[in-house]
Amino acid sequence: MKSIARLAAIALVAGLAVAVHAEPDAAPAQTVAIEPGSLTVGNPAPALNIAKWVKNSPVNSFQKGKVYVEFWATWCGPCVKSMPHLSSLQKEYADKGVTIIGVTSEDPRNNLEGVEKMVAAKGDPMGYTVAWDSGRSTSDSYMTAAAQSGIPTAFIVDQNGVIAWIGSPFVMDEPLEKIVAGKWDIDAARSAFEADRASDMAQITFSRALKSKDAAKIIDAGPKLMAFAGQNPGIYNYIAWGIVDPGRKLDLKSNPKLVDLALDAAQKADNATGNDDPGILDTLARVYFVKGDTKKAIEIQEKAIKLADDEKMKAELEGALKEYKSAK
């Protein structure tokens, strides 16, 4: 309820590979730090570091003139939804040197046993190569390096082993067709990708600032991320809750500007949702509580509870309301 769900998929063409990975925060520490933004369209495709090939023959390297695709996870709804489409593309382009590879990595909700069970159960609707990542090294080499925080995301690797396109597998048909045909403008694709990625980089910067607990960095990064939010309430809510989340334990009393930033973001999220989203209202109430306006916090929290139609959510909201009333 409090954070932006994040998923990822990779598609590689000519060697083409596509993959989906879990939330970056759930990943174990990397042995070698990978800088987000260090990988872009037009760069050579990183090697695949695979612990086990779950389905079909191993792809040990990207062969010249071939295409490879995909990253996923068992818990990822959009990833599962994309499987029939990827299978269809695999059939369509099999004789044109395209190999779709579904690479998945370990996380708290994704393990090798679950992957093997899903692959066996899916059968033909998952009609492409499936691989189990070595730790999260392949995911990090693609997703982290390309600063991709949402899944599914596809990376298409062209006939020369170069990343030709990065995006959602649901809209990769046209790029794939042109890449296979040798009619793709990779320079234009890089420009478009890097323009779109600016918002992802802003989110990464803000997330790092939160983790550092450095008020000055948060105050600097927050507005820069908000500039990309438009009417997206999820981004505003992410900023506001990131600041006032009790579990983060930021020193808000000594840094009132942090609370002001959270209030600005929470109000924008509330306005973008028509003032009737219980999760957004819960965040707004927390901001007012932290700001010292307990009466306003109680008023908004009570409204959130009335709007909640999920019993688990309602119980959580009532717990916060009890906290506010006790403080009053």
CATH of the domain at 318: 1.25.40.10
Residue 280 banded pLDDT, cuts 50, 70, 90: very high
Q: Is residue 253 included in any domain, yes or no?
A: yes
Name the token pair of 221: 């990064």
Taking a C-beta distance cutoff of 8 angstroms, is the pair 287, 262 a contact? yes
Q: Are residues 138 and 98 in the same domain?
A: yes
The continuous run of DSSP H or E covering 295 comes out as helix 294-307
Q: Which region holds residue 230: left if phi is over 0, alpha if psi is between -120 and 50, else beta?
A: left
Q: Is residue 138 included in any domain, yes or no?
A: yes
Question: Alpha-carbon Rg of the chain, whole angstroms?
Answer: 22
Q: How far apart are CA 212 and CA 100, in angstroms?
A: 39
From 181, 205, 231, give the residue that closes a domain.
181
**Total tally of structural domains belonging to the chain:** 2
Q: Are residues 208 and 76 in the same domain?
A: no
Q: Are residues 139 and 203 in the same domain?
A: no
86 Cβ contact list (under 8 Å, min separation 6): 18, 69, 70, 100, 102, 128, 169
Residue 7 banded pLDDT, cuts 50, 70, 90: very low
Closest CA to 286 of 1, 47, 11, 63: 1
Name the token pair of 206: 């803000």
Q: Which region holds residue 275: left if phi is over 0, alpha if psi is between -120 and 50, else beta?
A: left
Query: Sign of torsion, CA 316 321 324 325?
Result: negative
Closest CA to 76 of 166, 173, 153, 138: 153
Confidence (pTM): 0.67
Place of tokens 């990827």: 86
Residue 69 banded pLDDT, cuts 50, 70, 90: low
> What's the Cα-to-Cα distance from 21 to each of 57, 71, 153, 158, 322, rounded to whole Å?
21, 6, 9, 22, 38
The whole-number pLDDT of residue 19 equals 34
From the CB of residue 249, how many other CB atoms can be counted at a distance below 10 Å? 8
Q: At what angle do helices 256-272 and 233-244 cross, to 10 degrees?
A: 150
Average pLDDT of every residue of the chain: 87
Q: Are residues 159 and 35 in the same domain?
A: yes
Residue 20 banded pLDDT, cuts 50, 70, 90: very low
Report angle CA 290, 292, 298 to the nearest 5 degrees. Answer: 80
The whole-number pLDDT of residue 31 equals 47
b or e along 139-171 (b: 16 or more beta carbons within 10 Å of the residue's beta carbon)?
Answer: bbbbbbbbbbbbbbbbbbbbbebbbbbbbebee
From the CB of residue 176, how many other CB atoms can be counted at a distance below 10 Å? 26
Mean pLDDT of the 178-195 span: 95
Q: Are residues 176 and 207 in the same domain?
A: no
The whole-number pLDDT of residue 3 equals 33
Q: How far apart are CA 90 and CA 286, in angstroms?
A: 49
Place of tokens 């509580």: 289
Instruction: Report pLDDT digits (tens) over 87-125.
Output: 999 999 999 999 999 888 888 888 999 999 999 999 988
Q: Are residues 170 and 83 in the same domain?
A: yes
Q: How far apart are CA 132 and CA 138, in angstroms?
A: 10
The whole-number pLDDT of residue 70 equals 66
Range of 318's domain?
A: 197-327
